[in-house]
Chains A and B, each alone.
Chain A
Amino acid sequence: GAVVSQHPSRVICKSGTSVKIECRSLDFQATTMFWYRQFPKKSLMLMATSNEGSKATYEQGVEKDKFLINHASLTLSTLTVTSAHPEDSSFYICSVETSGTGELFFGEGSRLTVL
């Protein structure tokens, strides 16, 4: 399976600032990565599909100008939360699919707290 690493694991920022979260596929070249968000005691919600070398595909209701996704290489996708607000506080998780079987490998998650 793939090893997926996220950084930072925890971040606290002030309202109005931007925060970048990195997702790295350490041993697999991923043309596609997925970004999920999870609010406390809720299930994971898919935010967007990150495509290497092209624009990300966002799910309905997710603002693409607020959640900027860049997938500049086969091993790195970044999610930037712009002008963060307290309601953006959440657990952000990325994943990759490697085998064509639908088996996803997830990162450890990044917990964002916006004050």
Chain B
Amino acid sequence: DAKTTQPPSMDCAEGRAANLPCNHSTISGNEYVYWYRQIHSQGPQYIIHGLKNNETNEMASLIITEDRKSSTLILPHATLRDTAVYYCIVFNSGGSNYKLTFGKGTLLTVNP
């Protein structure tokens, strides 16, 4: 899987938008961008994924640059419960090999 680069930590004020960046400059054409998060001492939780178009669901929005070398996960109105480590992963799901490689992620701390 292609390597991703994320800042180790970020802070955000409660109620504001949290924008988490991810660089994946070596992504290949058939690799998707996935975002997961892990709240302390829990299993990871799927958030969203996309290939080239921007995506939005009830949890977040995913903005992927046109060259696909970077993306941003947006939590529109962060709450204290959004404090977690956020993992950006690039992955080719078309091969039916769902072995995700987790990097170090970004620890997002939402402050009151």
Contacts and interface: CB of A to CB of B under 8 A. Distances in A.
Interface string B74-112: 000000000000010001010010111111110000000
Contact of A103 (B46, B87, B101): B46
Instruction: Provide the main secondary structure of the chain A interface.
Output: strand
Contacts of B103: 43
B9 interface: no
A43 B93 contact: no
A79 interface: no
Contacts of A107: 43
Q: How large is the interface on B (under 10, 10 to 19, 20 to 34, 35 or more residues)?
A: 20 to 34
Interface stretch (A13-21, A62-70, A82-90, A94-102): A94-102
Interface string B12-45: 0000000000000000000010101010011111
**How many A residues are at the interface, by size bracket?**
20 to 34
Contacts, number: 57
Contacts of B102: 36, 43-45
A43 B87 contact: yes
Given A102-B34, A109-B41, A49 B46 contact: no
Contacts of A104: 36, 44, 46, 98, 100
Interface of B: 32, 34, 36, 38, 41-46, 49, 87, 91, 93, 96, 98-105
8 nearest interchain CB pairs?
A: A102-B93, A106-B43, A97-B98, A44-B102, A43-B102, A93-B43, A109-B43, A106-B44
Interface of A: 1, 4, 6, 32, 34, 36, 43-46, 49, 91, 93, 95, 97, 100-109, 111
